[in-house]
Every structure is written in C-alpha cells, then in structure tokens.
Structure 1
Amino acid sequence: MYKIIIRCLFLLLVSNVSNAQAWMTNLEIAQKLALTQNKMVLMVWEESTTYPYGVMANDENGKLVFIESLFESEVISPIVWEYFVPVIVSESQYADLYADIEGKRSNKYMNKFNDDSIKIMDVNGNIVNLTSHPEQFQNITTIINNYGVNTKFLLPELMGYRTEKDFYSTYYLASKYLDFSMYMSENNRSAFIDLGMLYLEEASNLVVAEPNEDQKALNQRVALLDLQQYFILKRPKKALRQLKKIQKDGIEPNNESFVAFLYYTAYSILEDETEVKLWKSKISSVNLKKAQMLINLNS
C-alpha cells in the first residue's frame, strides 16, 4: 500500500540538531491519539529501551541501512510518527495487560506479547503483527509498508466498539476488519483477517455471556461471517462446504440475505452460472458490490 523511502538519510545522520519527537509513555493516551489520527499504535516494552535497539531500514535506493538505536534515531523517529503513534509501555503495566488477554489468545499471540520486538496494535490494544524473529533485526521500512495504514475506513466501528462493547459493536468491527483486509496487499492481508477473527471470537463469547431469544441466530451469523474469510484467502470451495454444512441445520430468517450473498459469491468465483442466476436476485445492490470485490480478488 505504501512505498516508504528514507529521504536525505546521510544529511539527517550528520545533523547536530536533534528533532526526534519523544515517544509516548501512556498506552491509553496513545490509543486515543491513534483513534483521532486514524493510525495504528507502535508499542515496545520499556525494558527494550535500556539497550541499543538496532533496526534495519531501506534507503531511497532500496539499500539496507543499519540504524543503531530505534528510539534515538533522528532519521527513523519522524517517519515512525508519520505512520504510527509510538509508545513505550512500562513493565509495571504488564500484569494488567496480561490479565486482559490471559486464556483468550493463541500461543503465537502470547509469545509476541511477551517478547521485546515491535508490536503493532490497533486502538484497542490488539496486536496485528504476530510474526516474530527475535534473533533478527527488524526492518522498520517493512513494518511501515505492511502496517502503516490509514484506519479511517474502520473509524465508525472502532468508535462504536469503544463506546459500548456488546455483541453487535464487536461483530460489526470484526466484519469491517475483514472488509479492510481486502484492500491490503497479499503480504499482510492474513494479519488483518486474523485481527477480524479475534473480534469475531469475542463476539461469539458475548453471545454466551449475554443469552437472549436471538442467540441461535446470532451464533449462526458468527459462523457465516467466519467462513467469509475463505473468500478473501482465495479458498471458495472451503467456504461453500462450510456454508452447506451450516444450511443443514436450517437458516434463521434474519440471516437469509447473508446466506444469499455468500452463495452468490461462492458460485460466482467457481463460475457456476446456473447457481449464480438463482441467488443473484436475492441479494441487495450493496452486497452485489461487495461480492464483486471478492470475485475480483479471486480472479
């Protein structure tokens, strides 16, 4: 999405004037700022700042350059601020942050949470860059290219989730992250899908925690959104198998239009024109446009 180049590298390195903006030290305030600026949060543990934190970067010619200290570099700091809200989090906050996710995240997620590497988070504190290679220097240019995204597309759902965390706000945010992932490059698309799935799992847990008369329909809606990821991952046959499996148990009336959209999308990708004609008349113009995006993604 972004082609980041580090301009005037040599001039900045030899400059005697320090213009590097200090990183934030309050995660909550950093998240609020990121929300207003439509950015992700770049977070590191405070302990990692007690030693030279070397990173790699690409100069304007694509050549790899070694930066001795991420936190003190006059070259990198302004660029980091341009694409993220960077924050250094004290180890004293570790216990509270750990308690929020204990038993709710994968081993891969927990390993990333615990290590000293750069963590890219959304404004709710969920990590998106789960790949970790602690033995290697991280490439800050690659991190910016993959995760230095404008999150304005997500803003209504992010605001709704932060205002009132219930099934619907969580579900809609999960759905929006799936939509958002379609605009990402193939290199980082799965990372944003996984982030959406994290919210979808949370929505599913809220159905259990807050039972009501629509519980069956809501559980089914979660299952239907879950299979939508396979269109984005270019696995339409798996999506279709999952959809038929769900249909065996009967489709709830409130979910019929969603099911029609999924069937139409699946058969369009698989070029089954007979089935496409059967389902096309049952979906809205808005869903037709969304289906076309998924179809184009698979072409």
Structure 2
Amino acid sequence: MKKSLILLLIVFLSSSTIKADNWLSSFEDAKKMALATNKLVLVDFWASWCGPCKRMDSESWNQEDVRSLMSNYIPVKIDLDNNKSLAAKYGVRGIPYIFIMDGNGKVIHQQMGYKRKSEVVDLLNKYALNTSFLTRDLINYHTKENFANTYRLANKYQDYAMFLEPHLRTEFLEVSDTYFKEAEQGLKKSKLKSKQAFKQKIELHDIQKNLLLDRSKKALKQLEKIADEGVVETNKKFYNLLKYIAQKDNDNSEEATALGKELSANDLKKAEIFFK
C-alpha cells in the first residue's frame, strides 16, 4: 500500500521535473521514485558553465549504451548554482561530481571529476542492483525516522551486504553503519525500557560487520569485552552465533564445535555465508 501511494505521488510530482534526456531535476522526486522502483539514485552535480560536465554529457551520458545502463537507476542532475545548500550537505568540492545513493539519500559511492565513457560504464555496471530486499524498511524509514525503523533498516543493510561481492560489501556495510549511528541517537531519545539490550545489540552488529570484512581477530576481542560486561539474555543467541563464527574462522575448532551444538540449524546455515 505504501509503495503504491509513493508511486502515485511520484507520477504527480515528477511530471514537470523530468528533462528531455530522461534526467530528473528534483532530488526529492528522484529519492521517492527510487523507493517506489527498487532502484538506486544516480546523482550528477553539474553547472551550465562547467566544461567537463558538458564533455561528459556528449561523450558519456548521451551515448546509447550508457543510457541503456542508466535505466537501472533513477538519474537526477542537480544544478550546483541552484542547489548550493544541497551541494554543501554532500561535500561537493568540484564538478562534475557523481553519487550513487539509496532512496533516502544515503551515499553508497561518490566520484569527483570528468569520467570517460568506459569509466561510466564500469560504474553503472557495478552498482546496477535491485534493492527490493530493502524496500519495506527503506520506505518505513522515509515515512518515520524513529529508532525502530532506523535500527531495522541498518540491520537489513547488513544482511543485504552478506550476499554482495567483496568489492561492494564494504560500501554497503558503511551505509549500514550510517543508519546504526542514527539508531544509537534515536535510542537515546526513545522511551524504551530495554535500551541497554539494544545498545549491546548494536555493538554485536559492529562485530558482525568485522566478521564480514574478515576481521575475526578483532571480532574475538570485541566479544571478550562484551562477555566481561555481561551478555544481555535477549542477545545471547546472536552473541553465540558471532562467537562460533569468530572461533571457527580463527581455527579454534574445539571452541567452535562446542558453540555449534548450541546453535539452531538456521543459525548454522547463516554462519556458512561467512566462510564462503
């Protein structure tokens, strides 16, 4: 329902903001359309006086094979002169400046300067991802930025990153981190009675991130610190899973075997993802 409503809103809002070359000119409309279509946003900061920008238009963006790849994104051109506050928000220091973002405007990738056609093709091929796995939580966050919605989206991003190739995983884990940091701030303002449990759970997610990035020794040290402080009852299952993965990855077979006996079949299946 929410998705349908957003799509209808997009049709209404963007009807007058789509340029003749299929680039949107409204950043807000582009984000909403990305949420409704399970795509990422392709952002190009430019200006009418920018020589390299004009070169990219003729030599890269307007080429047929590039335009075909752009169909995997919601593309939006942002005029630097008319959007200085937005440019400042994203740290645009020069143009052309290209971003790949999610539908909430969180940066996944950024590049500054002129890009040859081959570089643009490589970029668009790399991030041509379907975000349907994230859609519900992306929309919930867009609708209401509270602790629960932010935490769930951060968690979902981390799960999504598990199935990405290593060259993409790091960037999506960084986006997950961005949402987790927001969730921590939201937790402080919330009226939840279980704040300590969620605070620890966010720490466990940081350990999971390190395991996904093959930093198992660091993960073990983090797990030891949590054990010393005391594992909250509701977090024990997650803690044991992460400790099993870390011990196995460090070839501590005896400890891993003992922990493995306490895990469910689903948890053992999830653990295998870390060893592929």
TM-score by length of 1: 0.76
> 1:122 deviation in Å?
0.4
User: Judging changes above 3 Å, is the alpha-carbon distance between structure 1 residues 97 and 68 closer, same or farther for their aligned structure 2 residues?
Assistant: closer
Q: Does 1:28 align with 2:23?
A: no
- 1:267-298 per-position Cα deviation (integer Å, ceiling 9, x unaligned): 122232221232223333332222110122xx
Counterpart among 62, 75, 79 of residue 86 in structure 1: 75
Mapping for residues 105-184 of structure 1, pairs under 5 Å: 110-111=90-91, 113-116=92-95, 117-130=97-110, 132=111, 134=113, 137=116, 139-184=119-164
Deviation per residue, 1:119-167 (Å, 9 max, x gap) = 000000011114x353765711221232111111222322232233222
Code of the aligned partner of 1:212 = L
Which has the larger share of helix? 2
| Aligned mates of 2:63, 2:48 — CA distance in 1 | 15
Residue number in structure 2 paired with 1:210: 190
Gaps of 5+ in 2: 1-19
SS at match of 1:196: helix
The 2-side partners of 1:133 and 1:87 are apart by: 16
Counterpart for residue 62 of structure 1 = none
State the secondary structure of the residue aligned to 1:148.
Answer: coil
Task: Say whether the 8 Å CA contact 1:157–1:172 is kept in structure 2.
Answer: yes
AA in 1 matched with 2:273: M
Give the partner amino acid of 1:40.
Answer: L
CA RMSD of aligned residues (A): 2.5
Q: CA deviation at 1:39?
A: 1.0
Tell me the distance in 2 between the aligned counterparts of 1:36 and 1:155.
8
The answer to whether the aligner puts 1:281 opposite 2:261 as a matched pair is: yes
Normalising by structure 2, report the TM-score: 0.81
> Equivalents in 1 of 2:48, 2:172: separation in Å?
26
Q: 1:264 aligns with which of 230, 240, 244?
A: 244
| Segments of 4+ moved more than 6 angstroms | none
* Other structure's SS at 2:75 match: strand
C-alpha contact 1:21 1:78 (8 A) present in aligned 2: no
Aligned letter for 1:83?
Answer: N
- State the one-letter code of the partner of 1:260: N
In structure 1, the partner of 2:38 is 38
Q: CA deviation at 1:259?
A: 0.5
Instruction: In structure 1, list runs of 5 or more residues that go unmatched.
Output: 1-19, 56-66, 102-109
Number of aligned residue pairs: give it: 253
Match of residue 254, structure 1, among 218, 234, 251: 234
